[in-house]
A and B are shown apart, each in its own frame.
Chain A
Amino acid sequence: MVDNPNNIEIKPGDFEPLDKAAGPDNEKIAAPSLTFGQDVWRRLKSNKTAFTSFIVLILLFLMAFGGQALYHQNPNDQEPKYANLPPKIPGVGIHGLNGHINQSGADVDAYKQAGAGSNVHYILGTDYLGRDLLARIMYGTRVSLEIALIATLIDLTIGVGFGILSGWMGGRVDMFMQRIIEILSSIPSLVVMVLMATAFQKTGMASIIAALALINWTTMARLTRAQTLQLKNQDFILAARTLGESAPKIAWKHLLPNLSSVIIIQTMFTIPNAIFFEAFLSYIGIGISSPQASLGTLISDGQKNFQFLPYQMWYPAIVLIVLMLAFNLLGDGMRDAFDPKSKR
């Protein structure tokens, strides 16, 4: 009673035995048990950089694929009299967004000069043919993403299939398949892409996708092969074999789930790579051709006027850089999230 500061009387009658069945169970795991996916998601969320990149990517995807539903402007509508108008957002007075440009030292309202009414405004300006730049960027981003995603999907299928087959078969087949990879990877990939893109000229998207997919799969194949070699000697695979499971089924049910982290991480680096090469090919003029647009062609078009109208290149370039940054940072985050052993 001496140590009781509040002078509370405690009598034996205040206590009663708990019902044992309903009582706390020492064996119970307090936190819900997480699946692998949930665990990865939790770790990814705690990584601020990666999570921000994830949100940015979602926004960019929404802009690219859903933007046209909100912003009704045809990316191919030409309005020659409104060509090369700088960005103008109504009600904003900041130079660079108010439709004014510097013309030999003087501040000029480019919209007035072009004879545009007060209701005409282009949020990101127009290009040399008077096409709405914002609409074109949304459209170009979509084309770039579509190409990169489809190419990555194909490249993933070839790479993973090749890798699993090579690792699983072993022996001579493996030797032969590894030599193929060795030869392919000692050819500068860009040169091959340029060749492919030239060879299938004027087929547009399909040729770029083919060129990208045919070259980039070797890294994926190498990674999956190495992982398959490790996995195939483990007991659970032996058990599946003993039970008479067929090889394709083992690959699908047992190998693939265990390979998933390697595949997902590698994919996160393949996509920005594909985006870069697409932009590169389009930039040098053998990729997407007009009236189609991609980030590469937009940058290439914008570059011509860069000295006088820098916004025409800056905006698509920023979108491309942000896209590459976000994918790379998310990829880094994924690598950490998938590997509980790696400490930052």
Chain B
Amino acid sequence: MRKYLLKRIFYLFLTLFIVATATFFLMKLMPGTPLQNEAKLTASEKASILAQYGLDKPVWLQYFIYIGGIFKGSLGLSFQFSDQAVSYLIGSRMGPSMQLGGQAMVVGVIFGIILGAVGAIRKDTWADRLATILSILGIAVPSFVLAILLQYYLGLKLGWFPVAGWEGFAYTILPTLALAASPLAETARFIRTDMVDVLSSDYIELAKAKGLSKFGIVYHHALRNSLIPMVTLIGPLAAALMTGSMVVENIFSVPGIGEQFVKSILVNDYPTIMGVTIFYSALLCLLLLLTDIVYGIIDPRIRLSGNGD
């Protein structure tokens, strides 16, 4: 277990190192400087601005400074907000994103499990068909379309929820719903497939033969076994939430990381793009590592070992 952990942590750092290197050189390939109104500046002003961002040094030195900085928790200075550190920018915008992501994950997974379980128990009935249609729609309707529709119909027309902004819990409801659709659909599909398998296995037959109630069988025997492989879904779901958050935060003007990322892309704020990329990758890597460890703990059949697969 320890050997396995050490190995995984080594790979985590290797991955992040590769991501950092790749983003650094990709960004160096691109045109653009932090200079605004370049034509109006004198040569010495230009030089001092470039020096402020460390862009006067040769590229290889910039690279080492950047990588060294990451270890110290520094991700450089943002181009669009002068003098603001990227790490501060990310830190100050993390709250809303994490809250939305967490809420969407909880809502999506819980309702997904219910939808999937209903589908599996009432297999081939109208309830199953409805659950399947809902989960397929959740996959087929892109989050940005759903977000716009929710904002217009529930927010503007019916006036049930605030249309946009970030001033309290009511403001989180619509973006959470828009984000939760995809985890909900994925979870429902996953649980349904898995539970159909589990429900036809011998120990469920035994539980039926013992005369357990239908609810008892589903809750104590079937669902618990289906939940274990669910853990592996958390990584991909988190990645999907990151994707979704970029547009959903934009549409509902939530001051989160996703919104910042899209803005930075549109104005070519390279240090912020790099910083957010590394942050997202680190987050996903950590989540994947955590899910693997949790999976090993809750499923005794899985043994984590250090020597390959």
Contacts and interface: CB of A to CB of B under 8 A. Distances in A.
B247 A183 contact: no
A307 interface: yes
Contacts of A189: 239
A183 B266 contact: no
B277 interface: yes
Contacts of A279: 142
A285 B261 CA distance: 12
Interface stretch (A30-38, A64-72, A194-202): A194-202
B144 A280 contact: yes
B137 A280 contact: no
B142 A320 contact: yes
A199 B273 CA distance: 11
A179 B265 contact: no
Interface stretch (B51-59, B63-71, B203-211, B279-287): B279-287
B277 A199 contact: no
B146 to A, nearest CB: 10
A175 B7 CA distance: 14
Taking residues whose C-beta sits less than 8 angstroms from the other chain, chain A's interface range is 35 or more
A321 B145 contact: yes
B288 A186 contact: yes
Contact of B19 (A175, A187, A286, A328): A187
Contacts of A201: 30
Interface in B121-151: 136-137, 139-142, 144-145, 148
A198 B15 contact: no
Interface string A58-86: 00000000000000000000000000000
A306 interface: yes
Contacts of B276: 191
Contacts of B168: none
B29 interface: yes
A48 B239 CA distance: 33
A194 B27 CA distance: 12
Interface in A182-224: 182-183, 186-191, 194-196, 198-199, 201
Contacts of B288: 186
B111 to A, nearest CB: 20
A249 B246 CA distance: 46
A188 B242 contact: yes
B94 interface: no
B243 A280 contact: yes
Interface residues of B, number: 44
A256 interface: no
B47 interface: no
B18 A183 contact: yes
B140 A324 contact: yes
A293 interface: no
B265 A284 contact: yes
Contact of B156 (A194, A198, A285, A307): A307
Nearest to B239: A188
Contacts of B136: 325, 328-329
Contacts of A195: 22-23, 26, 273, 277
Contact of B242 (A186, A190, A325): A190
A183 B12 CA distance: 8
Interface string A160-182: 00000000000000010011001
B5 interface: no
B201 to A, nearest CB: 15
Given A188-B239, A324-B140, A179 B26 contact: no
Contacts of A51: none
A251 interface: no
Contact of A188 (B144, B156, B284): B284
B10 to A, nearest CB: 11
B287 to A, nearest CB: 9
A150 interface: no
Given A189-B239, A307-B156, A320-B142, A284 B246 contact: yes
A134 to B, nearest CB: 19
Contact of B281 (A179, A191, A283, A286): A191
Given A186-B285, A188-B281, A313-B148, A328 B140 contact: yes
Contact of A186 (B145, B247, B268, B281): B281
A303 interface: yes
Contacts of A283: 142, 144, 247
The 5 closest A-B pairs by CB, nearest first: A324-B140, A325-B140, A190-B243, A199-B26, A183-B15
16 contacts: A178-B309, A183-B11, A183-B18, A186-B284, A186-B288, A188-B280, A188-B284, A191-B276, A195-B22, A198-B30, A198-B268, A201-B30, A285-B262, A307-B152, A320-B142, A325-B136
Interface of A: 175, 178-179, 182-183, 186-191, 194-196, 198-199, 201, 272, 276, 279-280, 283-286, 299, 303, 306-307, 310, 313, 317, 320-321, 324-325, 328-329
